[in-house]
Structure 1
Amino acid sequence: MGKMQCKCGHVNPPGTILCESCGRSLTEEEQNKKLADMRYEGTARRSQTYNKSIIDKIWNFFSSVKVGVSIIVILLIAAAIGTILPQAQYVNVPVRNDATIKAYYADVYGEIGKIYHFLGFHDLYSSAWFILLVGMLAISLIVASLDRFVPLYRSLKNQRVLRHPSFMNKQRIYAEGPAPEDSMQKAEEKLKDLKYKVTLDKNGLLAEKGRFSRWGPYVNHIGLIIFLFGVMLRMMPGFYVDETLWIREGETRAIPDAPGYFLENKNFTMETYTGEGEDAKFEEAIDRVGTVAKNYQTDIVLYQTPEESLPGATDELEEVEEHAIRVNQPLKFDGYAVYQMDFRQNELRAMTFDLTNKETEESLGSLTIDLVSPEKSYDLGNDTRVDLLGYYPDFSGFENGEPQTETPIPNNPGFLVRMFTPETPDGEVSFIVIQNTIEPLGENQYKLTFQNAETRDVSGLTIRKDSTLPILGLGGLIFMIGVAQGMYFNHRRFWIQKQEDGGLVLAGHTNKNWYGLKKDLDQVSEFASLPPYIDQQEEIEKQEKLEKEQKLEGDELS
């Protein structure tokens, strides 16, 4: 498509429908219209002009409003599907990794869960295809904005005062007729009083107000682009952290996604209301549900590795601070916040057994098995020892004769042991679980008798860091400014030209709020004695309505 030269001599870019200089219609289709197309001031958009190279096709694809809306609809549908089953971060699995999460969805939700996990809906907002869609939406916003903003800005910046009669009489607000000699001067004075910017050229006048409102949608797009940029930054390491850390009393563990920081759980405390004294107001609730929590608290110590330490080294931890983490009272450090979110009480830590003679019940000694890091052998003295052949923290049964553990958490510990005594130097094999002993090689002379168990509490902490909040906030603020700019303000213009016979021609246009434009024009007309104007859109609608009624009457008569 080549450049288009107007009869006035101005050369317009390809695709222009209204001359940038005089406003004359350049296409046959535009010439046949009753009102001028002022949406983009009649300027050419790149997407409607070029369609040859692969770059043109990509540009045209992303500049389409339909494409942008389609991407938004797909994102909304995906977000809705993502709420059908819980997201992976809310799934309660003992060990959080891809295998356990995949197994959870398959076990709990069957085939639907498998498909849900396979398609990435279990971790929707971090899935590659969802991030790709968000990126495509950002590209669509950028391309669509540039495709419309650049020609509109160029046209409004270079708009002329004097316009061709065909431009004037195709505006919605139009007036033509005789007027006093000083009408132009009085119109200029009144328009300036109404805060219009007035430009004069020979026998013409252009009054303009609220041009900045035309940029409202593009300011919206800038805000959305910044917001989407913040969302995509959440996928980058270090910008956004939302991790769960289960830490037992007496345990020291590295903080997920916080390199160099460690937490030690000194003690967990749970307090409940008693229903007596000051707590009497909770008596009814206590009677109904049993217990009402008063406080969850984890007393922790925060450590940091020295700067000169090797990555992962824990032998020279430096204490940073001690803190009592309570609900809504997190530990905060270096942009991170550690919240008390959950707990498990009375988790098994160690179990003590006596090695006894089954017939005489004589004890040859006791041993304590640490359920977190058990030893391979326990020497009881006098040629007596117990070897731990296998340890199954969460015994779930036998498979092909082999004991199985469901999780590494000591919920139902099982032990495969070989017991050596002076009377049984070759050893006797037993498999021990809570309240049950299996002797797979025949009846034994000795057994391990359970004596007591040591328990401890486990704190469920959530580690959060969000460096994208300022970016998201800035994007939201800019978006709201654009909303206000586009909704509560409008771009109003008046063209007034004095004819050779002394009469005036007036045209008016606004992108919205025609009532406000007419109200301003009424004040100017009264003050400057301008010729009466007509709303051509209303006249067209009246004419179309009349023609429709006449056609209906003709159909009835026939």
Structure 2
Amino acid sequence: MEKVKCECGHVNPYGTYLCGSCGKPLIDEGKLANMRYEGVARRSQTYKKSIVDKVWNFFSSVKVGIWIIVLLLVTSSFGTLFPQEMYIPPGEDPTVYYSQEYGVAGQIYYQLGFHNLYSSWWYMLLIAALGVSLVIASLDRAVPLYKALKKQRVTRHEAFLKKQRVFGEAEASVSQDDQFEQAKQILKDKRYKLKEENGNLLAEKGRFSRWGPYVNHVGLIIFLIGGMLRFFPGMYLDDYIWVREGETEVIRGTDGEYFLRNNEFFIELYDEEDEMFADAIARQGSPVVQTFQTSATLLKRSNEGALGSETELEEIRDHDIRVNEPLTFEGISLYQVDYRLNELSSFTFTLENEDVAPEILEEVVFEVDLNDPQMFYEFDNGYQVEIIEYFPNFIIDDNREPTTLNRIPDNPRIIFEVFPPGVDPLDENSEGEISLIGLQVNEELNGENDHTIRMADFELVDVTGLTVRRDHTLPVLIAGGAIFMVGLIQGSYWHHRRIWVQRKNGKVMIAGHANKNWHALKNDISFLSEKTGLPDVVDQSEEKEAHDNKEEVNDQHGPTK
């Protein structure tokens, strides 16, 4: 691209509208000068040949940036149609959960990968594209704008002044030196920064507001980086653990180093006799929970242990976990968010047979842990019991096959096989007596059995639900948001104003430019003219609009006589 040489001798890059030295318009595009980016050439308007240029030009386009934002908004909305996989109930199989809960729409949602939308590679690619667009669009505009504002001269070409939106001129008076001195003092009082050159004057203030949009972009870029850092290992954790009362569970995200023991869980209800809560209890239709708490102990693995040895746990500290009162350690916080009361924990079974002496079967009493069942039981009197199949939450699927909805023992079913003394379970030819046992269920599956398994007792336990959260990206997100707000305030509540006062050929010309709030600029110049006698200005955009309206009327009705 050929460079353009101005009559003042300054060589300007291709695509420059206003000379970077004197300000003379190099391209005549109408009555008013195009002051966008100070009329300088942007890289996207200058270089268009190589593949780098084409990529740069593509991402520097505001339209492309808007389309990327629209795509992000649309795709993000898809992720809110149904819960993301991390928010479905613990223990649920996502391949089954979405179709069972939401039907065909849920199945399609899962098949398209929307259940893990925000961590998908193509969603990350859209975020990266938005970040690239922000960086390139900002550099494409901010760098030439900075150079133009940094090197702007006081003395400008006459055509530059006359093509400003706010312009006025008059014959120079005898006391123009006194007028200029008075004008300088007035402008200083209004906090303008002054520059003088060859008897001409440039007054400027609020230049920093021009960088507000670019500060916004910096804040957005930092915010996007913080969002993407959440998908790096160790930077962000948002998980869930259920801990039964009296049990100890490993805390996810700690690589098996930390454990939590649920010493006691309890809930406190509002007093039903208290009139203050009568309306709330009536609306709820049941007692209203006032608070719920987990009295927990944090434990840490004290040694790695040799192969085959048990892990030794060291108690770190006790803490009562309540809503908004988490247990915090090593940057990880455990929040109280849910609970389940009276969950089945274990079944106790006995074996009965009318033809066998009761004292023989007294020894056949065994307990099945519904969360971690032992699959084989052997007794001193020769009896052996094997669990063939265990369904914690028993259902019949669409193929009429037994399966489990999840691993939570809400509706447990157990298929037992009983081997009397003398029958070897390892012998392929031996057959035991098979039964299906559950709550109020006791079915013999291979004909009439000689032995009957009876449920003698069961145990219930309360379970606490805790969110495990660690967020090292939060400072980055806060910094990005704070910078964005600084840029928003910077660009919204201040504006860049410039006033040129120039003497040439026996005339005094005064022109002004503002990136917004032209009314304030015109008020400043009017006040200056009133106090010093310098020429007042007119808004040439209003004159141009009135002229265009008049021509439109003439085109419709003919010229006015």
TM over 0.5: yes
Structure-2 change in CA distance of 1:22 and 1:449 (3 Å): same
Contact 1:93 1:104 in 2 (8 A): no
**Who is 1:61 aligned against?**
58
**Who is 2:26 aligned against?**
26
C-alpha root-mean-square deviation of aligned residues, in Å? 2.7
Of 516, 538, 542, 2:542 maps to 538
Structure-2 change in CA distance of 1:63 and 1:187 (3 Å): same
Of 276, 282, 285, 1:281 maps to 276
Structure-2 change in CA distance of 1:556 and 1:158 (3 Å): closer
**Who is 2:486 aligned against?**
481
Q: Which piece of structure 1 moves more, 142-151 or 404-413?
A: 404-413
Cα offset, 1:373, TM superposition = 3.2
**Who is 1:551 aligned against?**
555
**Who is 1:120 aligned against?**
113
Cα offset, 1:216, TM superposition = 0.9
Contact 1:240 1:465 in 2 (8 A): yes
SS of 2:164's equivalent in the other structure is coil
**Who is 1:371 aligned against?**
370
Of 457, 461, 466, 1:452 maps to 457
**Are residue 326 (structure 1) and residue 322 (structure 2) matched?**
yes
- Structure 1: gaps spanning 5 or more residues: none
1:84-95 aligned within 5 A: 84-95=81-92
**Who is 2:444 aligned against?**
439
**Who is 2:427 aligned against?**
none
Count of matched residue pairs: 547
In the alignment, the residues of structure 2 paired with residue 465 and residue 2 of structure 1 have an alpha-carbon distance, to the nearest angstrom, of 56
1:483-498 aligned within 5 A: 483-498=488-503
1:59-138 aligned within 5 A: 59-95=56-92, 100-138=93-131
SS of 2:462's equivalent in the other structure is strand
Structure-2 change in CA distance of 1:306 and 1:360 (3 Å): closer
**Who is 2:527 aligned against?**
523
Contact 1:275 1:281 in 2 (8 A): no
**Who is 1:221 aligned against?**
217
SS of 2:9's equivalent in the other structure is coil
Cα offset, 1:552, TM superposition = 2.6
**Are residue 153 (structure 1) and residue 146 (structure 2) matched?**
yes
The alignment's TM-score, normalised by the length of structure 1, stands at: 0.91
Cα offset, 1:334, TM superposition = 1.7
Structure-2 change in CA distance of 1:117 and 1:150 (3 Å): same
Contact 1:306 1:318 in 2 (8 A): yes
Of 136, 142, 149, 2:135 maps to 142
1:49-448 aligned within 5 A: 49-95=46-92, 100-178=93-171, 179=173, 180-182=175-177, 183-259=179-255, 260-276=257-273, 279-287=274-282, 289-306=285-302, 315-358=311-354, 362=358, 364-365=361-362, 366-397=365-396, 404-421=403-420, 428-434=432-438, 435-448=440-453
Structure-2 change in CA distance of 1:361 and 1:166 (3 Å): farther
Q: Which piece of structure 1 moves more, 52-61 or 365-374?
A: 365-374
In the alignment, the residues of structure 2 paired with residue 211 and residue 201 of structure 1 have an alpha-carbon distance, to the nearest angstrom, of 20
Cα offset, 1:406, TM superposition = 3.8
In the alignment, the residues of structure 1 paired with residue 450 and residue 487 of structure 2 have an alpha-carbon distance, to the nearest angstrom, of 85
Name the amino acid aligned to 2:238: D
Q: Which piece of structure 1 moves more, 158-167 or 259-268?
A: 259-268
**Are residue 47 (structure 1) and residue 41 (structure 2) matched?**
no
Structure-2 change in CA distance of 1:414 and 1:32 (3 Å): closer
Name the amino acid aligned to 2:81: I
Contact 1:82 1:122 in 2 (8 A): yes
The alignment's TM-score, normalised by the length of structure 2, stands at: 0.91
In the alignment, the residues of structure 1 paired with residue 491 and residue 262 of structure 2 have an alpha-carbon distance, to the nearest angstrom, of 54
In the alignment, the residues of structure 1 paired with residue 75 and residue 396 of structure 2 have an alpha-carbon distance, to the nearest angstrom, of 40
Q: Could you give the per-residue CA deviations for residues 449-479 of structure 1, whole angstroms, max 9, x where no partner exists?
A: 2211112122111111222222211111111
Name the amino acid aligned to 2:301: T
- Structure 2: gaps spanning 5 or more residues: 425-429
**Are residue 36 (structure 1) and residue 33 (structure 2) matched?**
yes
Structure-2 change in CA distance of 1:374 and 1:489 (3 Å): closer
In the alignment, the residues of structure 2 paired with residue 511 and residue 470 of structure 1 have an alpha-carbon distance, to the nearest angstrom, of 34
Cα offset, 1:310, TM superposition = 8.8
Name the amino acid aligned to 1:441: N
Q: Could you give the per-residue CA deviations for residues 264-287 of structure 1, whole angstroms, max 9, x where no partner exists?
A: 1222212323423xx453345445
Contact 1:353 1:452 in 2 (8 A): yes
**Who is 1:510 aligned against?**
514
Contact 2:17 2:40 in 1 (8 A): yes
Name the amino acid aligned to 1:51: K
Structure-2 change in CA distance of 1:413 and 1:160 (3 Å): same
In the alignment, the residues of structure 1 paired with residue 479 and residue 308 of structure 2 have an alpha-carbon distance, to the nearest angstrom, of 37
SS of 1:343's equivalent in the other structure is strand
Name the amino acid aligned to 2:524: D
Cα offset, 1:397, TM superposition = 4.8
Contact 2:526 2:536 in 1 (8 A): no
In the alignment, the residues of structure 2 paired with residue 271 and residue 530 of structure 1 have an alpha-carbon distance, to the nearest angstrom, of 79
Q: Could you give the per-residue CA deviations for residues 370-410 of structure 1, whole angstroms, max 9, x where no partner exists?
A: 22333344344333343334433333359999854443333
Structure-2 change in CA distance of 1:237 and 1:472 (3 Å): same
Q: Could you give the per-residue CA deviations for residues 415-473 of structure 1, whole angstroms, max 9, x where no partner exists?
A: 33333445989774121322233333321222112211112122111111222222211
SS of 2:25's equivalent in the other structure is coil
Q: Percent identity?
A: 47
SS of 1:174's equivalent in the other structure is strand
Cα offset, 1:196, TM superposition = 1.2
Cα offset, 1:337, TM superposition = 1.3
Structure-2 change in CA distance of 1:403 and 1:506 (3 Å): closer
Contact 2:345 2:461 in 1 (8 A): yes
Name the amino acid aligned to 1:528: T
Structure-2 change in CA distance of 1:520 and 1:309 (3 Å): farther
SS of 2:298's equivalent in the other structure is strand
Contact 1:305 1:314 in 2 (8 A): no
Structure-2 change in CA distance of 1:313 and 1:483 (3 Å): farther
Contact 2:554 2:560 in 1 (8 A): no
